[in-house]
Structure 1
Amino acid sequence: MAKFRKKPVVIEAVQYEFGMEDGFVVDGRYYDKSGPVPRAMNRIPAIKTLEGRHEISKGDWIITGIQGERYPCKPDIFAATYEAVE
């Protein structure tokens, strides 16, 4: 099998804070933030990605790729994969 190295690409990223989500998952069902969302204690924040909705939690990074796509990244993976640029 051939080996490949990822090209260096500059991305934008921000650590998730409450209010940055697109909606919430409550009991397995997604509720978009633009409509009514149950005030349940077990609601999980989520963002929309090219692959569908992904649940996120405090401290996760939300990455915006070169074509405007967004996806979440756990803090430990982010720290091992990315470094700040000027």
Structure 2
Amino acid sequence: MTAKKYRKTETIEAEQFDEAKWQEKYRACHNPDQWEALAHPYGIDRYRGHFIIVTLEGDLILHDGDWIATGINGEHWPIADDIFRKTYVEAEK
């Protein structure tokens, strides 16, 4: 069997996760509904002191500097900064 090379063809949206910024947002929320409305569009939640992202494969811990990617179907997943920078380039507008 001969392996072939493939490249990704879809365009994603991504935002770098800033833990300090999200800590401030979390502290500013006065109830769980307010937090859910703020964090849900990014797939972010908080569990046992960690920020997590709910993915199709399960919950993953977000680390400061990770990128939150949003796929073509609205799904979210984290990408470590070094992997993101090796894999993606900013799309032309």
TM-score by length of structure 2 reads 0.66
Aligned mates of 2:8, 2:16 — CA distance in 1? 23
Q: Which contiguous aligned blocks of 4+ residues in structure 1 show a shift greater than 3 angstroms?
A: none
Structure 2: state its 5+ residue gaps.
26-38
**Structure ranking higher in helix proportion:** 2
1:34-49 mapped onto 2 (5 Å cutoff): 43-49=49-55
Aligned mates of 1:15, 1:74 — CA distance in 2? 10
Shift of 1:84: 0.5
Shift of 1:23: 2.0
Aligned mates of 1:13, 1:5 — CA distance in 2? 22
**Bigger shift: residues 63-72 or 16-25:** 16-25
* Structure 2 partner of 1:82: 88
> 1:53 pairs with 56, 59, 64, which one?
59
* Structure 2 partner of 1:15: 16
Structure 1: state its 5+ residue gaps.
27-42
Deviation per residue, 1:13-72 (Å, 9 max, x gap): 00113145632232xxxxxxxxxxxxxxxx111011111111001110000011111100
> What is the count of residue pairs matched by the alignment?
70
Superposed CA RMSD in Å reads: 1.7
